[in-house]
Amino acid sequence: MSADLAQQWEIALTTCAQEPIHSPGVIQSFGALLATDRALEYITHVSDNLSNLLGHETDEISADVLGQLLDTILPDTLVHDLNNACGLSTITTQRHRLGIYEIHGCWLDVSVHCSSTHTLIELEPVTENLDTHTPLLMRAQLMLEKTSSSEQLLALAVKELRNTTGFDRVMAYRFLPDGSGEVVAEASSPGAQSYLGLRYPASDIPDTTRRLFWKTGVRVVADVHAPMAPILALDKTEADLDLSLALIRGSSLIHGEYLKNMGVTASMAIAITVQGQLWGLFALHHRQSKVIPPDLRTVVELFRQLFSLQFQQILAEERFRDRKQAASILDKLFSIQADQATPKDWIKIIIQASQPFCQLLSAHGVAFISEQQVLASYGNSPSTSTVLALANHHNDHGQTDITTIECLQDLDMPDVKTWGSSAGGLCFTIPSDAPLYLIFFRNEILSDIRWAGNPESKELVEDSPKPKLRPRRSFEEYKQIVKDHCAPWTPSDLNIALEIRTELIRLARIKIQDFQQRQQNLLVAELNHRVKNILALIRSIARQTEMSTNSLEEYTTTLKSRIAALSAAHDLVTGYGLEWPNLRNLLAIELRPYLSDIVPRVTLTGPVIGLKANFVPTFVLVIHELTSNAAKYGALSVTSGNVTVQWYEHYGGIKLIWQESGGPTVTPPQRRGFGRDLIERAIPYEFEGEATIHFLSSGIRAEFWLPNNLIRWGQAGGTKPSPLANVPETDRLKPMEQIQVLVVEDSLLVAMEMESILKKIGLESITSAPSVARAFKYLRQESYQLCLLDIDLKQETSFEIADFLMKQGVPFAFTTGYNSKHALPNSLESVPLLKKPIDESKLEKLVSDLLS
């Protein structure tokens, strides 16, 4: 390619990437569009096919509605429902399907969403019934539950989507690290061309398109040959509407030509997301036009969400299996040496393990670097200059724990003699005062990459005033012989490398939890068990709450309080490793507001008793229902009311009595709700105990008997207050808005939540860091007066930061979502510990204590 053509190609790529595909000014003609101001008062835009959609031969309706009040065009019930929908918090981030309405004699399916300046109403003719598509969800649930590998899940998913939607071809398309894509699963009808195993260059799906896929989830093109319907505007000088979320959004002419060149008339794309990132797509192609009914799209969207959740879980399990396998080998390798080694011996031990390291990673060599010197190497490794260049490359990409390169040419090192037989490398660092770099090398391997068409084919539109892409015309398989590359570093390789790094950190005795590897398998198994149980319990609570409440607000408030009660119990059981949490403390958690009054309104009487951990969630929910009812209708709803809870030994078990007095006169309820069923049935049904509730006029009396297997006498375990960090005094006299706060948290959503809470408190200058390296970068640049440190930062901990802050005299506290009772080194045991999910009041008190 000549330099001039290469420059024109780059200009054309840039132009394509900048195309405003979110605001094309047209829609697909299988639906129609109305847009209003955000207040839903008057119509600002209308598609010129509205008349045709309503069965009129002329466009008088389309032309005349501009500027008219919305309630003069649409029925009152629809306007009412539109106003309700526009009050939802998600109205600007997702389409809301309202249902079917009669408009001017036609039955239309209506959806709505809002942009920053307009409300957009999509109208589609009514076609099929939802019942014909629901089997997809039932089969999907079975498929998701029984599949244990990502490859198998993708293969089953494309078959299910094809069977349900009727498309000629369904492909699962994975995005690769270089931006290109590969078809990894496919189901197609007889005669349809197969693209399984073929790759597509990154330019086929520009970044702007990928961002839209991530945002919308599902994208349809009903007929690339059908004319688009222009959108008419009241104000012709106004910019085109933002149609990002509109399902009937018109498609790009380039994309339409691209599909035509593939022999495709209709298409649907379904985003596959993993951990909030676009992993790939399901691409559905059909040789004839195909309008996807709203009911089917709704089912497909639900399938997409179910699939992405399960796919993410399976990928996590595969990563865990890779790491577990590596951990088993490493544990055998280091179990004896690590116990006998002194801190000075650890580098020597690591170097001696070079051969098994290389075998685990299918590497041909490894080099060890510290302080810009190669300490040792094994097998095939390049020259010192190349090794150091790879170490510097890793430093330049320090936001990741592991960096890989598959072609040394990418390092701009023209002297191939320095490479030796190596072609690529994988690098990670063991942090310490003098960080140790491990770089693994792979030799060159000649390989064939199968492309859908020649990726080097670069065609531009002739006679265009400025360079413009012409979509590829051929998708025939094209084999490209790749030289000067090593075998790709796969996700499995990265998982194994992470495990090696974790084990070496433990071996190095650096201030990181050296117990982590030994406990990992047990913790994961226990975590999986508890998560499954608690999710099943929450699902049941959500369903029963929905059935027993009358409004969305009541449902949200009730469900939130019940889940909060479960969370408090879960904290008590897991936060301090208690198998037999103290009964009095469990009651105190729920009744805390009434125990802390100047004149306590709740009396707790009974011996020291521990309750079995698996019984605690049920018990806490029962007490929560009693407390909630007392606060709403019973003794705790008035200042004169009191509650007495007493327990004592009774027939080998425990008799517990809840007695209310001094409240409003009690009358037996006319109907049974979820709360009453829970109080009376949960303990007898699940744990063979007894429960009775008496609606006495003087106050409710509930009696429970707990069998001996649920209790332990004299068990005094319970909550333990977190001590204040033992740090030297520092300058804490600044106004709140001037205090610099550093939040170290690897989850962006959690970090954003903490930032929001801190700003409510009055702290305005907040910086968040996802890793130890980023945190130290900020600490070198700025002076902070308060720090909040998440203990577990993916493959590292924040203890190194904590030691630094301790020496500097900066107030700080830990946050964690795990059982970290035994995780803190002796020097940090006095540091305050805040459990996740973050409670706003607890965080505010913690900040006040630290700054006081």
Q: What pLDDT was estimated at residue 147?
A: 80
pLDDT at 341 > cutoff 70: no
Residues near 689 by beta carbon (within 8 Å), at least 6 away in sequence? 653, 683, 704, 705, 706, 707, 710
Q: What pLDDT was estimated at residue 766?
A: 92
List the structure tokens of 760: 């409510």
Residue, of 567 and 32, whose pLDDT is higher: 32
Least confident window among 562-576, 683-697, 720-734, 786-800 = 720-734
pTM score, two decimals?
0.55
- pLDDT digit string (tens) for 127-139? 755 455 666 667 7
Q: What is the CATH number of domain 130-228+242-317?
A: 3.30.450.40
Q: What pLDDT was estimated at residue 690?
A: 92
pLDDT at 644 > cutoff 80: yes
- pLDDT digit string (tens) for 219-271? 999 999 999 999 999 998 898 999 999 999 998 888 888 888 888 999 999 99
Q: What pLDDT was estimated at residue 541?
A: 53
3-class secondary structure, 154 = helix
List the structure tokens of 849: 């204590």
- pLDDT digit string (tens) for 591-606? 876 775 556 788 999 9
Q: What pLDDT was estimated at residue 230?
A: 95
| E-strand stretches of 468-605 | 477-482, 602-605
At the topology level, CATH places domain 518-713 in Heat Shock Protein 90 (3.30.565)
CA dihedral 509, 515, 516, 522 (to 10 degrees): 160
List the structure tokens of 336: 């004896």
Q: What pLDDT was estimated at residue 345?
A: 61
Residue 850: which of 763, 747, 748, 746 has the closest Cα? Answer: 763
- Distance, in Å, from the CA atom of 472 to the CA atom of 463, rounded to the nearest integer, reads 18
Least confident window among 256-260, 330-334, 344-348, 356-360 = 344-348
Q: Provide the residue ranges of all domains of the chain, joining segments of one domain with +.
A: 26-125, 130-228+242-317, 341-446+484-510, 518-713, 736-851
Q: What pLDDT was estimated at residue 373?
A: 86
Tell me the torsion sign for CA atoms 548, 551, 552, 558. Answer: negative
CB 354 within 8 A of CB 379: yes
Residue, of 59 and 828, whose pLDDT is higher: 828
Please, which pLDDT band fits residue 819 given cuts at 50, 70 and 90? low
26-125 homologous superfamily: PAS domain (3.30.450.20)
- Distance, in Å, from the CA atom of 480 to the CA atom of 452, rounded to the nearest integer, reads 11
Q: What pLDDT was estimated at residue 79?
A: 92
Residue 763: which of 731, 733, 736 has the closest Cα? Answer: 736
Q: Residues 190-214: what's their mean pLDDT?
A: 87
The vertex-700 CA angle with 605 and 675, nearest 5°, equals 100
3-class secondary structure, 419 = helix
List the structure tokens of 347: 């580098």
Please, which pLDDT band fits residue 525 given cuts at 50, 70 and 90? very low
DSSP characters over 332-400: HHHHHHHHH--GGGHHHHHHHTHHHHHHHHT-SEEEEEETTEEEEEEES---HHHHHHHHHHHHHTTTS
Scan for tokens 């729920």, then name that residue: 590
Q: What pLDDT was estimated at residue 112?
A: 96
Domain 341-446+484-510 CATH assignment equals 3.90.226.10: no
Least confident window among 59-63, 79-83, 768-772 = 59-63
Share of the chain above pLDDT 90, in %: 27
Q: What pLDDT was estimated at residue 822?
A: 44
Q: What pLDDT was estimated at residue 820?
A: 47
Q: What pLDDT was estimated at residue 78?
A: 93
The overall average pLDDT reported for the chain is 80
Residue 583: which of 650, 631, 646 has the closest Cα? Answer: 646
- pLDDT digit string (tens) for 318-338? 888 888 878 777 777 666 455
- Distance, in Å, from the CA atom of 272 to the CA atom of 279, rounded to the nearest integer, reads 6
- pLDDT digit string (tens) for 89-118? 889 999 999 999 999 889 999 999 999 899
- Distance, in Å, from the CA atom of 52 to the CA atom of 840, rounded to the nearest integer, reads 55
Topology match between the domains 26-125 and 130-228+242-317: yes
Residue, of 618 and 288, whose pLDDT is higher: 288
Q: What pLDDT was estimated at residue 606?
A: 92
Q: Residues 460-473: what's their mean pLDDT?
A: 62
Q: What pLDDT was estimated at residue 555?
A: 64
Least confident window among 56-60, 159-163, 614-618, 641-645 = 56-60
Residue 766: which of 782, 743, 749, 746 has the closest Cα? Answer: 743
Domain 736-851 CATH assignment equals 3.40.50.2300: yes
Q: What pLDDT was estimated at residue 148?
A: 79
- Distance, in Å, from the CA atom of 839 to the CA atom of 532, rounded to the nearest integer, reads 24
pLDDT at 418 > cutoff 80: no
List the structure tokens of 659: 């007695």
Scan for tokens 């098994």, then name that residue: 356
Q: Buried (b) or exposed (e) across 402-423, using 16+ Cβ within 10 A?
A: bbbbbebbeeebeeeebbbebb
Residue, of 688 and 6, whose pLDDT is higher: 688
Q: Residues 273-290: what's their mean pLDDT?
A: 93
Q: What pLDDT was estimated at residue 599?
A: 64
Whether residue 837 has a cis bond before it, omega within 30° of 0:
yes
Q: What pLDDT was estimated at residue 677?
A: 81
Please, which pLDDT band fits residue 521 given cuts at 50, 70 and 90? very low
CB 558 within 8 A of CB 545: yes
pLDDT at 289 > cutoff 70: yes
Q: Please list the helix, strand and coil fractions of the chain in percent, rounded to the nearest 5, in that order.
A: 40, 25, 35
**Residue 661 backbone zone (phi > 0: left; psi -120 to 50: alpha; other: beta):** beta
Q: Residues 489-505: what's their mean pLDDT?
A: 86
Least confident window among 217-226, 346-355, 543-552 = 543-552
